[in-house]
Amino acid sequence: MSQSPTPMGTSRGYESPAVSQFSIFMPNRVGKMLELVKAFEDHMCRICSLGVHDASDHAVIRLITSNAAECRKVLAEQELTYLETDILIVGIDENHTLVKMCHYLLGAELNIRFAYAMMGWPAGPTAIALAVDDITLAGQILIRKEFRLLGEADLPRFGE
Protein backbone atom coordinates (compact mmCIF):
# COMPACT_ATOMS: atom_id res chain seq x y z
CA MET A 1 0.00 0.00 0.00
CA SER A 2 1.20 3.49 -0.62
CA GLN A 3 1.65 6.07 2.05
CA SER A 4 -1.57 7.77 3.11
CA PRO A 5 -1.73 11.32 4.48
CA THR A 6 -2.55 9.94 7.95
CA PRO A 7 -0.35 7.05 9.13
CA MET A 8 -2.23 3.84 9.88
CA GLY A 9 -2.57 3.06 13.58
CA THR A 10 -1.62 -0.38 14.85
CA SER A 11 -1.01 -2.01 18.21
CA ARG A 12 2.58 -0.78 17.86
CA GLY A 13 1.37 2.73 17.01
CA TYR A 14 2.25 2.91 13.32
CA GLU A 15 2.93 0.56 10.44
CA SER A 16 5.22 1.65 7.58
CA PRO A 17 4.37 0.72 4.00
CA ALA A 18 6.81 -2.16 3.59
CA VAL A 19 7.76 -3.95 0.38
CA SER A 20 8.99 -7.54 0.10
CA GLN A 21 12.57 -8.08 -0.96
CA PHE A 22 13.57 -11.57 -2.04
CA SER A 23 17.13 -12.79 -1.49
CA ILE A 24 17.52 -15.67 -3.93
CA PHE A 25 20.32 -18.23 -3.66
CA MET A 26 21.53 -19.48 -7.04
CA PRO A 27 24.48 -21.40 -8.42
CA ASN A 28 27.00 -19.03 -9.98
CA ARG A 29 26.84 -20.41 -13.53
CA VAL A 30 26.64 -18.89 -16.98
CA GLY A 31 23.05 -18.28 -18.09
CA LYS A 32 21.37 -18.58 -14.66
CA MET A 33 20.56 -14.85 -14.49
CA LEU A 34 18.93 -14.98 -17.94
CA GLU A 35 16.78 -17.93 -16.83
CA LEU A 36 15.66 -16.01 -13.75
CA VAL A 37 14.75 -12.72 -15.42
CA LYS A 38 13.04 -14.51 -18.31
CA ALA A 39 10.84 -16.41 -15.84
CA PHE A 40 9.58 -13.09 -14.48
CA GLU A 41 8.89 -11.75 -17.96
CA ASP A 42 6.85 -14.85 -18.76
CA HIS A 43 4.76 -14.22 -15.63
CA MET A 44 4.11 -10.54 -16.31
CA CYS A 45 5.86 -9.66 -13.05
CA ARG A 46 8.11 -6.63 -13.34
CA ILE A 47 11.53 -6.55 -11.69
CA CYS A 48 11.84 -3.14 -10.00
CA SER A 49 15.25 -3.62 -8.40
CA LEU A 50 18.03 -6.13 -8.76
CA GLY A 51 21.33 -6.59 -6.97
CA VAL A 52 23.82 -9.44 -7.34
CA HIS A 53 26.29 -10.49 -4.66
CA ASP A 54 28.45 -13.30 -5.94
CA ALA A 55 30.98 -15.78 -4.65
CA SER A 56 32.91 -18.37 -6.62
CA ASP A 57 30.25 -21.08 -6.38
CA HIS A 58 26.98 -19.21 -5.69
CA ALA A 59 25.25 -15.86 -5.96
CA VAL A 60 22.69 -14.10 -3.80
CA ILE A 61 20.31 -11.98 -5.85
CA ARG A 62 18.32 -9.27 -4.07
CA LEU A 63 15.13 -8.68 -5.99
CA ILE A 64 12.08 -6.45 -5.63
CA THR A 65 9.17 -6.99 -8.00
CA SER A 66 5.87 -5.28 -8.71
CA ASN A 67 3.96 -8.26 -7.32
CA ALA A 68 5.30 -10.22 -4.33
CA ALA A 69 2.66 -12.97 -4.60
CA GLU A 70 3.54 -13.62 -8.24
CA CYS A 71 7.25 -13.50 -7.38
CA ARG A 72 6.76 -16.31 -4.86
CA LYS A 73 5.09 -18.41 -7.60
CA VAL A 74 7.98 -17.81 -10.02
CA LEU A 75 10.58 -18.75 -7.43
CA ALA A 76 8.66 -21.92 -6.49
CA GLU A 77 8.39 -22.93 -10.16
CA GLN A 78 12.12 -22.35 -10.61
CA GLU A 79 12.75 -24.38 -7.41
CA LEU A 80 14.94 -21.61 -6.00
CA THR A 81 15.72 -21.11 -2.33
CA TYR A 82 15.02 -17.61 -1.06
CA LEU A 83 14.49 -15.45 2.00
CA GLU A 84 11.84 -12.73 2.13
CA THR A 85 12.49 -9.49 4.03
CA ASP A 86 10.34 -6.40 4.55
CA ILE A 87 12.12 -3.21 3.50
CA LEU A 88 11.26 0.44 2.96
CA ILE A 89 11.22 2.20 -0.40
CA VAL A 90 12.12 5.85 0.19
CA GLY A 91 11.57 8.61 -2.36
CA ILE A 92 14.58 10.89 -2.82
CA ASP A 93 14.44 14.40 -4.30
CA GLU A 94 16.16 17.79 -3.97
CA ASN A 95 14.50 18.47 -0.58
CA HIS A 96 14.67 14.91 0.73
CA THR A 97 18.25 13.84 0.05
CA LEU A 98 20.30 10.76 0.92
CA VAL A 99 22.35 12.87 3.33
CA LYS A 100 19.23 14.01 5.19
CA MET A 101 17.79 10.49 5.25
CA CYS A 102 21.02 9.06 6.71
CA HIS A 103 21.26 11.93 9.20
CA TYR A 104 17.72 11.37 10.51
CA LEU A 105 18.23 7.61 10.85
CA LEU A 106 21.56 8.13 12.60
CA GLY A 107 19.86 10.49 15.04
CA ALA A 108 17.59 7.59 16.05
CA GLU A 109 20.60 5.25 16.19
CA LEU A 110 19.14 3.07 13.45
CA ASN A 111 21.58 0.92 11.53
CA ILE A 112 21.23 0.85 7.73
CA ARG A 113 21.85 -2.81 6.89
CA PHE A 114 21.85 -2.19 3.14
CA ALA A 115 20.47 0.20 0.53
CA TYR A 116 20.31 0.20 -3.25
CA ALA A 117 18.61 2.10 -6.06
CA MET A 118 15.24 1.22 -7.54
CA MET A 119 14.61 1.13 -11.31
CA GLY A 120 11.70 0.94 -13.68
CA TRP A 121 9.97 4.33 -13.72
CA PRO A 122 10.36 6.13 -17.06
CA ALA A 123 9.62 9.53 -15.49
CA GLY A 124 8.91 8.52 -11.94
CA PRO A 125 10.56 9.15 -8.61
CA THR A 126 14.13 8.43 -7.66
CA ALA A 127 13.83 5.84 -4.91
CA ILE A 128 16.06 3.83 -2.61
CA ALA A 129 15.36 0.36 -1.22
CA LEU A 130 16.35 0.53 2.44
CA ALA A 131 16.81 -2.18 5.06
CA VAL A 132 17.15 -0.96 8.62
CA ASP A 133 17.07 -2.50 12.09
CA ASP A 134 13.52 -1.25 12.79
CA ILE A 135 11.42 -0.38 9.73
CA THR A 136 8.51 0.87 11.85
CA LEU A 137 10.64 3.44 13.66
CA ALA A 138 12.48 4.38 10.46
CA GLY A 139 9.14 4.84 8.70
CA GLN A 140 7.83 7.05 11.49
CA ILE A 141 10.93 9.23 11.40
CA LEU A 142 11.02 9.60 7.62
CA ILE A 143 7.29 10.37 7.42
CA ARG A 144 7.68 13.07 10.09
CA LYS A 145 10.50 14.53 8.01
CA GLU A 146 8.14 14.47 4.99
CA PHE A 147 9.93 11.77 2.99
CA ARG A 148 7.68 9.78 0.69
CA LEU A 149 7.50 6.05 1.44
CA LEU A 150 6.33 3.84 -1.40
CA GLY A 151 4.41 0.59 -1.16
CA GLU A 152 4.00 -2.27 -3.63
CA ALA A 153 1.02 -0.51 -5.25
CA ASP A 154 3.33 2.42 -6.11
CA LEU A 155 5.84 0.25 -8.00
CA PRO A 156 5.73 0.23 -11.80
CA ARG A 157 3.66 -2.59 -13.27
CA PHE A 158 4.52 -4.77 -16.25
CA GLY A 159 3.97 -2.84 -19.46
CA GLU A 160 4.32 0.63 -17.90
DSSP string covering the chain: -PPPSSPPP-TTS-----EEEEEEEEE--TTHHHHHHHHHHHTT--EEEEEEEE-SSEEEEEEEES-HHHHHHHHHHTT-EEEEEEEEEEEE-SSS-HHHHHHHHHHTT--EEEEEE----SS--EEEEEEES-HHHHHHHHHHTTPPEE-GGGSPPTT-
Rounded to two decimals, the pTM is: 0.81
Report the pLDDT value the prediction gives residue 123, as an integer from 0 to 100: 62
pLDDT in tens, the chain (160 residues): 444 444 444 444 566 788 999 999 988 888 888 988 889 887 878 899 998 887 778 889 999 998 999 999 999 999 999 999 999 999 999 999 999 999 999 999 999 999 998 886 666 678 999 999 999 999 999 999 999 999 988 887 755 4
Three-point CA angle 74, 17, 91, nearest 5°: 95
Report the pLDDT value the prediction gives residue 156, as an integer from 0 to 100: 79
Does residue 6 sit within a domain?
A: no
If asked whether residues 37 and 92 sit together in one domain, one would say no
Does residue 134 sit within a domain?
A: yes
Report the pLDDT value the prediction gives residue 6, as an integer from 0 to 100: 42
Does residue 10 sit within a domain?
A: no
If asked whether residues 99 and 146 sit together in one domain, one would say yes
Does residue 12 sit within a domain?
A: no
Provide the domain limits for residue 48: 20-84
Please report, for the domain that includes residue 146, its CATH number.
Answer: 3.30.2130.10
Does residue 97 sit within a domain?
A: yes
Report the pLDDT value the prediction gives residue 122, as an integer from 0 to 100: 64
Does residue 142 sit within a domain?
A: yes
